[in-house]
Each structure stands twice: as C-alpha cells, then as structure tokens.
Amino acid sequence: MTIPAPTGASLSPTTLQPAVRWPARIRLLDHDGRLLSEAGVRSGTGQERVLLGDVVKPDALLDFYFGKSGRRLMVDLGDRLVDGWLETRWDGSTRSWWVEPGEEPTS
C-alpha cells in the first residue's frame, strides 16, 4: 500500500517548545523573587498543567492568590526559572493547586 506524500498546501511551520523537566520539588516565587512556598510535584509532563502536592505554605499561596489577586508567578526548578500561572480549586475537603506554565492560563 502506498501512502501519498502530503502536498505543500497542507504543510505549515510549527513552533516546538522544549519540554520542561519538572523536579520532585519546586519553589514558587512572586515576580519580585520572594519565596511564596515550596511544593512537591505530583505530575508534570511538559508544557501543560503541573499538579502540586505537599504545599509547605498553603496560607501564603491563599494570600497571594486571593488577597493580592496574584496568579502570575515564577517557578524555580533549581537550574532555571519558568513563568507560570497559579491556579486552585476546592476539591471536597482539600484544596488543589497547580501551575500552568507559560504566558497565559489555559483555563
């Protein structure tokens, strides 16, 4: 079976961004570089949502998110900083936190 080659009209350039390797623990910083909290990473597979677990200072994140209307932050991966958006929601009896890397949140 022969598969036809794609035509020029169907080809378009794509920008590929390098995947972020998320360590087991990260530091969440405001844009002035002040530490908000450290947290464990429950899942993070590149450019999409990174679920946080074991947040050391959840009160500081609550104050940043709701008290200061802060969502944009920096994530310290140890070897570099990544821009991201802090997101949260109440899940039954616990609060879930996650970071969406990049310039704008997707949710």
In percent, how much of the chain has pLDDT > 90? 47
pLDDT band at 4 (very low <50, low <70, confident <90, very high): low
Q: What mean pLDDT do residues 49-78 have?
A: 91
Does residue 25 surpass a pLDDT of 90? yes
Separation of first and last alpha carbons in the chain: 43
- Where do the domains of the chain lie, and which CATH numbers do they carry? 20-101 (2.40.10)
* CA-CA-CA-CA torsion sign (49, 20, 26, 65): negative
CB atoms closer than 10 angstroms to residue 15: 4
pLDDT band at 52 (very low <50, low <70, confident <90, very high): very high
96 touches 89 (CB < 8 A): yes
pLDDT band at 80 (very low <50, low <70, confident <90, very high): confident
- What's the chain's average pLDDT? 80
39 Cβ contact partners less than 8 Å away, ≥ 6 residues apart: 25, 26, 28, 52, 53, 54, 55, 56, 97
